C-alpha cells in the first residue's frame, strides 16, 4: 500500500481537489461543502485508475475522515485555503519502472511508453499492442501532449503511482507485480501506513491521534534554516532561488513536490503561498 498526497482548495462554497498522475496530467473535482467523504472516495476511485480508496487523512492532524464525515465539518484555522490530505489506496503497486523498461524494446521514447501504460490501465500486454499499433499507424494514434511536469525527474516516479493490480474482494486472482522492491524503497510511506491504526475520527469531529506522522507545524519565523537537500531538486518553470525560498518555508516532513505545485498555483506569489500555509496568520 502507499499514500498519495493531494491538496483541496476552498472556493467560497465549492471545494476543488486537484491531483496529478505519474505523467503529470491534472484532474480537478468540485464538491459542495456538505459533500460526504464517501462521495469523494467514489470520485477519486474513478479518476484514480479505478483503485479502491481505503482511507483519507487530514495532513494537519492526521485524523481519518469517516465515510459520513462532511467537508463542512473540517475546521480550517487561520483562514487557510488548502487542506492537504493523504489517501490510502488498497492493494499493491506495480513496478512501473520495470514495465516501462520492457516497453522500451518496442518504442524508444519513455514518455510514450508511460502514456501507453496509462491509456491501457497499466496492462503490459495491452500497452505493447498500443505501441505496436502506434508505430504501424503513426497518424491514427497520436499520443496526447503531456503536462509540463511530465519530463522532469520526479523522485517518486516508481513509488507513488496509483495501483492497478489491487486485491479487490471480488477479484482475488489478480497477480501483484514485483512489489517487494517498491515497498522496501518506499519505507517513508510504509512507516506512515503502519502507524495509521491508532488514528480515528468520530462523527466528523477532529480527533488528535498519538504519534502522528502527519502533524503540520509551521517553521519559526525569521529563524535561519540549514541548507535543505530538497533545494537541490529541479522543477520546470522555477529557478533554483525560487525553489529554495519555497523549501525554506515548509516543514521537514512536507513533500517539496506538493509545495512547489502549490507555489505555481499561486502564480509564484510568495505572499499568497505564505497565506495558504497559514504563515501570515
The residue extents of the domains of the chain are: 1-92+166-216, 96-157, 217-281
pLDDT band for 166, please (50, 70, 90 cuts).
very low
pLDDT digits (tens, 9 = 90+) for 216-262: 444 444 545 455 566 667 777 788 888 888 888 887 777 788 888 88
Spatial separation of the C-alpha atoms in residues 8 and 57, rounded to whole Å: 12
Structural contact between residues 20 and 32, judged by C-beta atoms closer than 8 angstroms: no
Per-residue pLDDT at 74? 65
* Residue 125 CB-density burial (10 A; 0-12 exposed, 13-18 middle, 19+ buried): exposed
CB 96 within 8 A of CB 157: yes
pLDDT at 131: 92
Question: What contacts 243, CB < 8 A, 6 or more positions away?
Answer: 231, 233, 235, 256, 260
Cα–Cα distance, 182 to 97 (Å, whole number): 10
Average pLDDT, the chain: 61
The pLDDT value given to residue 187: 44
Mean pLDDT of the region 184-205: 43
Alpha-helical (H) ranges within the chain are: 37-47, 96-103, 110-119, 124-136, 179-185, 187-194, 240-249, 256-265, 270-277
Among residues 2, 59, 5, 70, the alpha carbon closest in space to that of 37 is found at 70
Average pLDDT (92-100) is 74
Give the tens place of pLDDT for each residue, 36-84. 878 877 776 666 554 555 566 555 555 666 778 777 766 555 555 445 5
Higher pLDDT, 10 or 278: 278
pLDDT (mean) for 163-172: 39
> DSSP letter at 71?
G
pTM score, whole prediction:
0.30
Distance CA 21, CA 143 (A): 16
Q: What is the pLDDT of residue 183?
A: 42
pLDDT of 88 over the 70 cut? no
Chosen CATH of 1-92+166-216 out of 1.10.1060.10, 3.30.160.20, 3.10.20.90, 3.60.150.10: 3.10.20.90
Amino acid at each position: 500500500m502507499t499514500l498519495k498526497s493531494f491538496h483541496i482548495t476552498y472556493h467560497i462554497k465549492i471545494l476543488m481537489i486537484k491531483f496529478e498522475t505519474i505523467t503529470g496530467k491534472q484532474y480537478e473535482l468540485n464538491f459542495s461543502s456538505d459533500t460526504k467523504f464517501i462521495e469523494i472516495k467514489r470520485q477519486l476511485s474513478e479518476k484514480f485508475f479505478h483503485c479502491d480508496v481505503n482511507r483519507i487523512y487530514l495532513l494537519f492532524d492526521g485524523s481519518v475522515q469517516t465515510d459520513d464525515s462532511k467537508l463542512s465539518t473540517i475546521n480550517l484555522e487561520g483562514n487557510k485555503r488548502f487542506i492537504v490530505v493523504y489517501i490510502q489506496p488498497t492493494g499493491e503497486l506495480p513496478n512501473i519502472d520495470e514495465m516501462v523498461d520492457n516497453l522500451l524494446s518496442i518504442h524508444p521514447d519513455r514518455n510514450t511508453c508511460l502514456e501507453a501504460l496509462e491509456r491501457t490501465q497499466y496492462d503490459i500486454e495491452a500497452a505493447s499492442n498500443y505501441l505496436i499499433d502506434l508505430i504501424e499507424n503513426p497518424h491514427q494514434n497520436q499520443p496526447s501532449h503531456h503536462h509540463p511536469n511530465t519530463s522532469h525527474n520526479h523522485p517518486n516516479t516508481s513509488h507513488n503511482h496509483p495501483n492497478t493490480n489491487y486485491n479487490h474482494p471480488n477479484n482475488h486472482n489478480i497477480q501483484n507485480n514485483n512489489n517487494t522492491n517498491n515497498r522496501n524503497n518506499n519505507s517513508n510511506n510504509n512507516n506512515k501506513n503502519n502507524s495509521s491504526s491508532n488514528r480515528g475520527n468520530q462523527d466528523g469531529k477532529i480527533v488528535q491521534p498519538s504519534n502522528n506522522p502527519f502533524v503540520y507545524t509551521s517553521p519559526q519565523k525569521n529563524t535561519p534554516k540549514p541548507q535543505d537537500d530538497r533545494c537541490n531538486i529541479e522543477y520546470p518553470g522555477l529557478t533554483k532561488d525560487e525553489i529554495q525560498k519555497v523549501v525554506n518555508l515548509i516543514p521537514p516532513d512536507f513533500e517539496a513536490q506538493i509545495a512547489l505545485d502549490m507555489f505555481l498555483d499561486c502564480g509564484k506569489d510568495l505572499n499568497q503561498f505564505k497565506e495558504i500555509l497559514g504563515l501570515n496568520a
